[in-house]
Homo-oligomer: A and B are copies of this chain.
Amino acid sequence: MVKIGIIGVGTVGTSVANILEQNSDIIEARAGKKIVVKRGVVSNLNKQRNVTIELSNNVDDILEDSEIDIVVELMGGVQEPYAIVKKALEKGKAVVTANKALLAYHRYELQALAGDIPFMYEASTAGGIPIIGALRNGLSANHIGSIMGIMNGTCNYMLTKMFKDDALYSEVLQEAQALGYAESDPTFDVGGFDAAHKLLILASIAYGIDAKPEDILIEGIEQISQTDIEFAKEFDYKIKLLGIAKKAHNGIELRVHPTMIPKESMLAKVSGVMNAVMVVGDCVGETMFYGAGAGGDATASAVISDIIDIVRGNQGPMLGYKKGLESGFKLLDSSNIASEYYLRLKVDDQSGVLAKVASTLGEFNISIESMLQKPSSDDKAHLLFTTHHCKESDIQNAIKALKALNTVDEGIAMIRIEK
């Protein structure tokens, strides 16, 4: 029998405890041993919880219990769980966590601390989708060309809704909040930070890169307008918030932003709160992993699969590498990213303006792929462009220059395109 302790018995912790009991027949057959929750630790013992396990409010009741072999950390946050899992590892206990923020900041320290002790985190990224296992094991023969993932269900629900119902961002956000898909302060989701944490974890396994959220380009979906969606429809795109890791000739691009993708691509077909991660490898070609990115039971599915793996004697290497990669990959500075771009400008509806805008783009070596002019309700016009491949710094400088033109309004929107 293997005994585990759960630190944090909220939605996911409750699911873990209950599924270990409900599915104990099949879990024991697969793992080879009975897996039992000896204790859960919570901060508030008075809160009603839908579990039958013994609860304590003292984390040492797990950490100091020599009968407990595996510590499951589901409390969230960064500093407090970091201290707790460190202590668990020092005691020789295996750790399973669903905590993406902890890993986004401390995964390399944790790998060093863990050494040969299992440290597993399948649930940290894309919920129930076994993408960590796929990247670490199933695709391990490949140089990874790119990872592109819909890794935030809140954003995907909102963008799907905005596309389907031609609804405003603000309306859809309210609805998502009412449904419990978005928090009252939605910044962590809609601002792209949640997706960024997950992207950093995947990028470590693919490329061995130790980047922090502050090091990479992160943009949210807050600025997506109905005009952008109309344009996307007209040119057969969908707009998705993607986490992108990509091998360029001079380094690795890591970025999270709304992205126009062809509506016939597999990723474009992922709708509602579902998640999907597309991985392109040099041997395997294009693969995609699809499923629920959140929710108690789906996340618990990943947590328990890690526990079973540990019981079976399987483990890491935690971040996918047994030893450093000699040719080591380098994170590319955001300004050196290359992409195709969509631009939306509001301009004075008068002659010569389009010529001026086009020549400004030309000055920054930006070549136009398609262009559309639409009337606006005021005395203005919308100019919508897509560009051929160009450098991020060029597009940023061009936007600055365009804003300085007195016939162009300040609010220029830009969305990157991936084909």
Instruction: Tell me the A residues contacting B by CB distance below 8 Å.
Output: 15, 19, 23, 25-33, 122, 128-130, 133-134, 137-143, 208, 266, 269-270, 281-292, 295, 297-298, 300-305, 308-309, 312, 314-317, 320-327
Contacts and interface: CB of A to CB of B under 8 A. Distances in A.
Nearest to A275: B287
A130 B141 contact: no
A141 B284 contact: no
A305 B266 contact: no
A380 B160 CA distance: 46
A324 B312 CA distance: 15
16 contacts: A19-B283, A25-B326, A26-B325, A29-B208, A128-B283, A128-B285, A129-B287, A130-B133, A133-B133, A133-B138, A134-B289, A266-B269, A283-B300, A284-B298, A285-B292, A285-B295
Contacts of A139: 130, 301, 305
Contacts of A304: 140-141, 283
Of the listed residues A139, A143, A281, A298, the one surrounded by the most CB atoms of chain B closer than 10 A to its CB is: A139
Given A134-B134, A291-B284, A291-B287, A30 B308 contact: no
Nearest to A265: B269
A122 to B, nearest CB: 7
Given A29-B326, A314-B315, A137 B133 contact: yes
Contact of A305 (B27, B138, B289, B308): B138
A282 B19 CA distance: 10
B309 A137 contact: yes
B312 A317 contact: yes
A295 B287 CA distance: 14
Given A31-B322, A301-B281, A314-B314, A23 B286 contact: no
A282 B23 contact: yes
Given A128-B284, A283-B301, A138 B134 contact: yes
Contacts of A269: 266, 269
Given A134-B138, A140-B308, A285-B291, 6 more contacts: A29-B324, A30-B322, A137-B308, A269-B269, A283-B298, A284-B297
Nearest to A307: B141
Contact of A137 (B19, B314, B317): B314
- Please name the 9 residue pairs, one residue from A and one from B, whose CB atoms are nearest each other, closest first: A130-B138, A32-B322, A141-B304, A287-B291, A128-B284, A284-B301, A283-B301, A288-B290, A29-B325
A281 B27 CA distance: 13
Contacts of A282: 23, 297
B288 A23 contact: no
Contacts of A288: 288-291
A86 to B, nearest CB: 25
Contacts of A312: 316-317, 322
Given A134-B133, A141-B19, A284 B292 contact: yes
